Amino acid sequence: MAATKEKGTAVPSAGSPPSELAPEELLAAYRIMVLSRAVDDRCLTLQRQGRIGFYVPGSGQEAAQVGAARALHTEDWVFPAYRELAVALSRGVPLERLLDQFIGNSGDLLKGRQMPNHYGYREFRFVVASSPIGTQITQAVGAAMAAQRRKDPVVTITFFGDGATSSNDFHAGMNFAGVYRVPTIFFCENNQWAISLPREKQTHSATLAEKAHAYGFPGVVVDGTDIQAVFRAVSAARQRAADGEGPTLIEAQVYRFGPHSTSDDPHRYRSDAEVAHWKETDPLKRVRELLMKAGLLDEARDSALVEEARTQVSVALAAAEKAAPVAPGTLFEDVFAALTPRLEAERAEFEQLVHEGVIKL
Protein backbone atom coordinates (compact mmCIF):
# COMPACT_ATOMS: atom_id res chain seq x y z
CA MET A 1 0.00 0.00 0.00
CA ALA A 2 1.27 3.49 -0.77
CA ALA A 3 2.42 5.57 2.15
CA THR A 4 0.30 8.58 3.00
CA LYS A 5 1.81 12.05 2.95
CA GLU A 6 1.72 13.81 6.30
CA LYS A 7 1.13 17.53 6.45
CA GLY A 8 3.22 20.11 8.24
CA THR A 9 3.86 23.80 8.42
CA ALA A 10 7.12 25.62 7.93
CA VAL A 11 9.05 26.66 11.03
CA PRO A 12 8.37 30.34 11.73
CA SER A 13 11.28 32.72 11.37
CA ALA A 14 12.20 36.00 12.98
CA GLY A 15 13.22 37.32 9.56
CA SER A 16 11.14 37.65 6.44
CA PRO A 17 12.33 35.25 3.73
CA PRO A 18 10.36 35.13 0.45
CA SER A 19 7.02 33.42 0.88
CA GLU A 20 7.18 31.64 -2.48
CA LEU A 21 8.83 31.56 -5.88
CA ALA A 22 7.56 34.23 -8.26
CA PRO A 23 6.11 32.93 -11.57
CA GLU A 24 9.29 33.74 -13.55
CA GLU A 25 11.41 31.97 -10.91
CA LEU A 26 9.04 29.03 -11.03
CA LEU A 27 9.55 28.77 -14.79
CA ALA A 28 13.34 28.75 -14.29
CA ALA A 29 12.93 26.06 -11.62
CA TYR A 30 10.76 24.00 -13.97
CA ARG A 31 13.46 24.12 -16.65
CA ILE A 32 15.93 22.61 -14.19
CA MET A 33 13.41 19.95 -13.20
CA VAL A 34 12.77 19.00 -16.82
CA LEU A 35 16.50 18.89 -17.54
CA SER A 36 17.11 16.69 -14.49
CA ARG A 37 14.39 14.27 -15.64
CA ALA A 38 15.89 14.20 -19.15
CA VAL A 39 19.34 13.38 -17.72
CA ASP A 40 17.80 10.57 -15.66
CA ASP A 41 16.04 9.04 -18.67
CA ARG A 42 19.19 9.19 -20.81
CA CYS A 43 21.65 8.00 -18.18
CA LEU A 44 19.61 4.96 -17.25
CA THR A 45 19.83 3.98 -20.91
CA LEU A 46 23.54 4.80 -21.09
CA GLN A 47 24.27 2.50 -18.17
CA ARG A 48 22.36 -0.36 -19.78
CA GLN A 49 24.37 0.24 -22.96
CA GLY A 50 27.65 0.06 -21.04
CA ARG A 51 28.57 3.67 -21.80
CA ILE A 52 28.62 4.64 -18.11
CA GLY A 53 29.17 2.27 -15.23
CA PHE A 54 26.58 3.32 -12.67
CA TYR A 55 23.77 5.79 -12.18
CA VAL A 56 21.46 6.93 -9.37
CA PRO A 57 18.18 8.45 -10.67
CA GLY A 58 16.19 11.13 -8.85
CA SER A 59 12.94 11.14 -10.82
CA GLY A 60 10.07 12.07 -8.52
CA GLN A 61 12.26 14.12 -6.21
CA GLU A 62 12.89 17.14 -8.45
CA ALA A 63 10.56 19.61 -6.70
CA ALA A 64 12.10 18.88 -3.31
CA GLN A 65 15.62 19.36 -4.63
CA VAL A 66 15.05 22.45 -6.77
CA GLY A 67 12.77 24.07 -4.20
CA ALA A 68 15.42 23.60 -1.52
CA ALA A 69 18.28 24.74 -3.74
CA ARG A 70 16.53 27.95 -4.75
CA ALA A 71 16.06 28.92 -1.10
CA LEU A 72 19.82 28.84 -0.48
CA HIS A 73 22.34 31.64 -0.92
CA THR A 74 25.36 31.44 -3.20
CA GLU A 75 27.77 31.31 -0.26
CA ASP A 76 26.03 28.35 1.39
CA TRP A 77 27.63 24.89 1.25
CA VAL A 78 25.77 21.82 0.02
CA PHE A 79 26.60 18.36 1.41
CA PRO A 80 24.67 15.95 -0.82
CA ALA A 81 24.07 12.24 -0.93
CA TYR A 82 24.39 10.67 -4.37
CA ARG A 83 20.92 11.50 -5.75
CA GLU A 84 21.03 15.31 -5.81
CA LEU A 85 21.43 15.95 -9.54
CA ALA A 86 18.72 18.65 -9.57
CA VAL A 87 20.48 20.44 -6.70
CA ALA A 88 23.77 20.43 -8.62
CA LEU A 89 22.07 21.79 -11.74
CA SER A 90 20.35 24.46 -9.63
CA ARG A 91 23.71 25.52 -8.20
CA GLY A 92 24.95 26.11 -11.74
CA VAL A 93 27.08 23.02 -12.33
CA PRO A 94 27.40 22.65 -16.13
CA LEU A 95 25.77 19.53 -17.51
CA GLU A 96 28.87 18.54 -19.52
CA ARG A 97 31.01 18.56 -16.37
CA LEU A 98 28.53 16.20 -14.73
CA LEU A 99 28.64 13.86 -17.72
CA ASP A 100 32.45 14.03 -17.68
CA GLN A 101 32.29 12.63 -14.16
CA PHE A 102 29.78 9.92 -15.06
CA ILE A 103 32.09 8.78 -17.86
CA GLY A 104 35.36 9.41 -15.99
CA ASN A 105 37.16 11.21 -18.82
CA SER A 106 39.87 13.89 -18.80
CA GLY A 107 37.26 16.56 -18.08
CA ASP A 108 36.39 14.90 -14.78
CA LEU A 109 37.79 17.12 -12.02
CA LEU A 110 37.98 14.03 -9.80
CA LYS A 111 40.17 12.27 -12.41
CA GLY A 112 38.08 9.12 -12.41
CA ARG A 113 38.79 8.39 -8.75
CA GLN A 114 35.20 8.46 -7.57
CA MET A 115 32.30 6.23 -8.49
CA PRO A 116 30.14 7.58 -11.32
CA ASN A 117 27.43 9.88 -9.96
CA HIS A 118 29.60 10.85 -6.96
CA TYR A 119 30.61 14.36 -7.96
CA GLY A 120 31.61 17.58 -6.26
CA TYR A 121 32.61 21.10 -7.25
CA ARG A 122 34.32 23.57 -4.92
CA GLU A 123 33.42 26.42 -7.28
CA PHE A 124 29.72 25.78 -6.67
CA ARG A 125 30.14 24.90 -2.98
CA PHE A 126 28.86 21.42 -3.71
CA VAL A 127 30.82 18.83 -1.72
CA VAL A 128 31.71 15.44 -3.21
CA ALA A 129 29.22 12.72 -2.33
CA SER A 130 30.45 9.55 -0.68
CA SER A 131 28.95 6.06 -0.82
CA PRO A 132 28.70 5.27 2.92
CA ILE A 133 25.25 6.24 4.15
CA GLY A 134 25.01 9.44 6.19
CA THR A 135 28.65 10.55 6.31
CA GLN A 136 27.74 13.88 4.70
CA ILE A 137 25.56 14.72 7.72
CA THR A 138 28.42 15.01 10.22
CA GLN A 139 30.54 16.73 7.57
CA ALA A 140 27.89 19.42 7.13
CA VAL A 141 27.68 19.96 10.88
CA GLY A 142 31.47 20.16 11.23
CA ALA A 143 31.70 22.69 8.41
CA ALA A 144 28.93 24.76 10.01
CA MET A 145 30.72 24.68 13.38
CA ALA A 146 33.92 25.88 11.71
CA ALA A 147 32.05 28.70 9.95
CA GLN A 148 30.39 29.61 13.23
CA ARG A 149 33.76 29.95 14.97
CA ARG A 150 35.17 32.03 12.11
CA LYS A 151 32.03 34.18 12.17
CA ASP A 152 31.59 33.31 8.52
CA PRO A 153 27.89 33.97 7.73
CA VAL A 154 27.17 30.82 5.75
CA VAL A 155 24.66 28.04 6.21
CA THR A 156 25.26 24.39 5.39
CA ILE A 157 22.59 22.03 4.14
CA THR A 158 22.86 18.27 3.99
CA PHE A 159 20.63 16.05 1.86
CA PHE A 160 19.92 12.43 2.76
CA GLY A 161 17.25 9.80 2.43
CA ASP A 162 14.97 8.15 4.96
CA GLY A 163 17.40 5.24 5.28
CA ALA A 164 20.14 7.56 6.54
CA THR A 165 18.07 8.44 9.61
CA SER A 166 19.06 5.00 10.97
CA SER A 167 22.77 5.73 10.57
CA ASN A 168 25.17 6.64 13.36
CA ASP A 169 26.17 9.84 11.54
CA PHE A 170 22.59 11.10 11.53
CA HIS A 171 22.27 10.91 15.31
CA ALA A 172 25.79 12.18 16.00
CA GLY A 173 25.30 15.08 13.61
CA MET A 174 21.89 15.97 15.00
CA ASN A 175 23.19 15.93 18.57
CA PHE A 176 26.20 18.17 17.85
CA ALA A 177 24.02 20.55 15.82
CA GLY A 178 21.53 20.84 18.65
CA VAL A 179 24.12 21.30 21.39
CA TYR A 180 26.11 23.94 19.50
CA ARG A 181 23.15 25.52 17.67
CA VAL A 182 24.98 25.30 14.38
CA PRO A 183 23.63 26.86 11.16
CA THR A 184 22.77 23.59 9.42
CA ILE A 185 19.65 22.49 7.57
CA PHE A 186 19.02 18.75 7.66
CA PHE A 187 17.01 17.96 4.52
CA CYS A 188 15.61 14.44 4.49
CA GLU A 189 14.15 13.31 1.19
CA ASN A 190 11.84 10.61 2.49
CA ASN A 191 11.25 8.70 -0.73
CA GLN A 192 9.56 5.87 1.22
CA TRP A 193 12.17 3.19 0.43
CA ALA A 194 15.70 2.70 1.81
CA ILE A 195 16.62 0.61 -1.23
CA SER A 196 14.15 -2.25 -0.58
CA LEU A 197 13.26 -1.46 3.05
CA PRO A 198 9.96 0.43 3.44
CA ARG A 199 9.88 3.39 5.79
CA GLU A 200 7.39 1.74 8.17
CA LYS A 201 9.83 -1.11 8.86
CA GLN A 202 12.64 1.27 9.72
CA THR A 203 11.19 3.30 12.57
CA HIS A 204 8.09 3.44 14.73
CA SER A 205 8.12 7.22 15.06
CA ALA A 206 5.12 8.92 13.48
CA THR A 207 7.38 11.07 11.30
CA LEU A 208 11.10 11.31 10.69
CA ALA A 209 10.99 15.06 11.34
CA GLU A 210 9.96 14.57 14.97
CA LYS A 211 13.35 13.02 15.70
CA ALA A 212 14.70 16.59 15.79
CA HIS A 213 12.78 17.32 19.00
CA ALA A 214 14.95 14.90 20.98
CA TYR A 215 17.99 16.96 19.99
CA GLY A 216 16.45 20.28 20.91
CA PHE A 217 15.48 21.89 17.62
CA PRO A 218 12.47 21.99 15.27
CA GLY A 219 11.47 19.36 12.76
CA VAL A 220 8.91 19.93 10.03
CA VAL A 221 7.20 17.72 7.44
CA VAL A 222 6.44 19.12 3.99
CA ASP A 223 4.91 17.73 0.84
CA GLY A 224 8.06 17.31 -1.22
CA THR A 225 6.11 17.24 -4.48
CA ASP A 226 4.99 20.84 -3.79
CA ILE A 227 7.89 23.08 -4.80
CA GLN A 228 6.43 26.16 -3.11
CA ALA A 229 5.97 24.34 0.22
CA VAL A 230 9.60 23.16 0.07
CA PHE A 231 10.86 26.62 -0.85
CA ARG A 232 9.00 28.18 2.09
CA ALA A 233 10.25 25.58 4.57
CA VAL A 234 13.90 25.85 3.51
CA SER A 235 13.75 29.66 3.34
CA ALA A 236 12.46 29.75 6.90
CA ALA A 237 15.04 27.22 8.09
CA ARG A 238 17.84 29.17 6.44
CA GLN A 239 16.66 32.37 8.08
CA ARG A 240 16.62 30.67 11.50
CA ALA A 241 20.15 29.37 10.94
CA ALA A 242 21.46 32.74 9.73
CA ASP A 243 19.87 34.46 12.73
CA GLY A 244 21.77 32.19 15.11
CA GLU A 245 18.69 30.21 16.13
CA GLY A 246 20.23 26.87 15.20
CA PRO A 247 19.38 23.95 12.93
CA THR A 248 16.15 22.60 11.47
CA LEU A 249 15.26 19.12 10.25
CA ILE A 250 12.98 19.11 7.20
CA GLU A 251 11.33 15.89 6.07
CA ALA A 252 10.23 16.24 2.46
CA GLN A 253 7.75 13.51 1.59
CA VAL A 254 8.56 12.37 -1.94
CA TYR A 255 8.64 9.15 -3.92
CA ARG A 256 11.38 7.53 -5.95
CA PHE A 257 9.81 6.63 -9.29
CA GLY A 258 12.74 4.58 -10.56
CA PRO A 259 15.23 2.15 -9.03
CA HIS A 260 17.46 3.03 -6.10
CA SER A 261 20.32 2.79 -8.60
CA THR A 262 21.09 0.92 -11.80
CA SER A 263 22.08 -2.03 -9.56
CA ASP A 264 18.52 -2.32 -8.23
CA ASP A 265 15.27 -3.91 -9.44
CA PRO A 266 12.36 -2.18 -7.65
CA HIS A 267 9.82 -4.63 -9.11
CA ARG A 268 11.05 -7.17 -6.57
CA TYR A 269 9.79 -5.22 -3.56
CA ARG A 270 7.03 -2.76 -4.55
CA SER A 271 3.90 -2.84 -6.68
CA ASP A 272 3.12 -1.04 -9.91
CA ALA A 273 -0.04 0.26 -8.22
CA GLU A 274 2.00 2.02 -5.55
CA VAL A 275 4.18 3.73 -8.17
CA ALA A 276 1.10 4.73 -10.18
CA HIS A 277 -0.49 6.23 -7.05
CA TRP A 278 2.50 8.49 -6.42
CA LYS A 279 2.83 9.44 -10.07
CA GLU A 280 -0.52 11.19 -9.74
CA THR A 281 1.41 13.88 -7.85
CA ASP A 282 4.42 13.91 -10.19
CA PRO A 283 6.25 17.13 -9.23
CA LEU A 284 6.83 18.08 -12.87
CA LYS A 285 3.11 17.79 -13.54
CA ARG A 286 2.28 19.96 -10.52
CA VAL A 287 4.67 22.76 -11.51
CA ARG A 288 3.54 22.55 -15.14
CA GLU A 289 -0.06 23.12 -14.05
CA LEU A 290 0.94 26.14 -11.94
CA LEU A 291 2.79 27.67 -14.89
CA MET A 292 -0.12 27.06 -17.26
CA LYS A 293 -2.49 28.77 -14.83
CA ALA A 294 -0.08 31.72 -14.67
CA GLY A 295 -0.03 31.94 -18.48
CA LEU A 296 3.73 31.24 -18.70
CA LEU A 297 3.37 27.85 -20.34
CA ASP A 298 1.10 26.01 -22.74
CA GLU A 299 1.24 22.56 -24.32
CA ALA A 300 3.32 23.71 -27.29
CA ARG A 301 5.84 25.61 -25.18
CA ASP A 302 6.07 22.74 -22.74
CA SER A 303 6.79 20.25 -25.52
CA ALA A 304 9.46 22.58 -26.90
CA LEU A 305 11.03 22.94 -23.45
CA VAL A 306 11.18 19.14 -23.01
CA GLU A 307 12.73 18.70 -26.45
CA GLU A 308 15.23 21.44 -25.70
CA ALA A 309 16.30 19.60 -22.54
CA ARG A 310 16.75 16.33 -24.43
CA THR A 311 18.84 18.11 -27.06
CA GLN A 312 20.94 19.73 -24.36
CA VAL A 313 21.68 16.30 -22.90
CA SER A 314 22.59 14.89 -26.32
CA VAL A 315 24.95 17.76 -27.11
CA ALA A 316 26.67 17.58 -23.72
CA LEU A 317 26.97 13.80 -23.98
CA ALA A 318 28.52 13.97 -27.45
CA ALA A 319 31.16 16.39 -26.16
CA ALA A 320 31.85 14.28 -23.07
CA GLU A 321 32.23 11.07 -25.08
CA LYS A 322 34.70 12.76 -27.44
CA ALA A 323 36.93 13.88 -24.57
CA ALA A 324 40.18 12.03 -24.03
CA PRO A 325 40.46 9.53 -21.18
CA VAL A 326 42.10 10.48 -17.92
CA ALA A 327 45.88 10.58 -18.33
CA PRO A 328 47.19 7.44 -16.59
CA GLY A 329 50.06 9.32 -14.97
CA THR A 330 47.59 11.26 -12.83
CA LEU A 331 47.37 8.28 -10.49
CA PHE A 332 50.60 9.55 -8.90
CA GLU A 333 49.25 13.07 -8.37
CA ASP A 334 47.43 14.93 -5.59
CA VAL A 335 48.63 12.97 -2.55
CA PHE A 336 51.86 14.89 -1.91
CA ALA A 337 52.77 18.46 -2.88
CA ALA A 338 56.06 17.00 -4.15
CA LEU A 339 56.41 13.31 -4.97
CA THR A 340 58.52 11.24 -2.61
CA PRO A 341 61.65 9.62 -4.11
CA ARG A 342 59.93 6.24 -4.05
CA LEU A 343 56.88 7.54 -5.93
CA GLU A 344 59.15 9.27 -8.45
CA ALA A 345 60.84 5.93 -9.12
CA GLU A 346 57.49 4.15 -9.41
CA ARG A 347 56.17 6.75 -11.84
CA ALA A 348 59.28 6.43 -14.01
CA GLU A 349 58.90 2.64 -14.03
CA PHE A 350 55.20 2.94 -14.89
CA GLU A 351 55.90 5.31 -17.78
CA GLN A 352 58.60 2.95 -19.10
CA LEU A 353 56.21 -0.02 -19.02
CA VAL A 354 53.60 2.01 -20.88
CA HIS A 355 56.20 3.06 -23.46
CA GLU A 356 57.28 -0.57 -23.98
CA GLY A 357 53.68 -1.70 -24.36
CA VAL A 358 53.81 -3.96 -21.32
CA ILE A 359 50.97 -1.94 -19.84
CA LYS A 360 48.31 -1.32 -22.47
CA LEU A 361 45.99 1.62 -21.99
Rounded CA separation 68/253 (Å):
13
Contacts of 34 (CB under 8 A, 6+ apart): 284, 305, 306, 309
Rounded CA separation 75/248 (Å):
19
Rounded CA separation 59/42 (Å):
12
Which residues form the catalytic set?
A: 256, 260, 269
Contacts of 291 (CB under 8 A, 6+ apart): 23, 26, 27, 30, 297
Rounded CA separation 93/108 (Å):
13
Pairing of strands 184-190, 248-253: parallel
Rounded CA separation 83/63 (Å):
13
Beta strands in 29-98, from DSSP E residues, in sequence order: 77-79
Count other C-beta atoms under 10 Å from residue 346's C-beta.
14
Q: How far is CA 343 from CA 118, 301, 347, 351, in A?
A: 27, 57, 6, 12
Sign of the alpha-carbon dihedral angle for 312, 317, 322, 327: positive
Rounded CA separation 234/249 (Å):
10
Q: What is the CA radius of gyration of the chain?
A: 21
Contacts of 193 (CB under 8 A, 6+ apart): 162, 199, 256, 260, 266, 269, 270
Rounded CA separation 113/92 (Å):
23
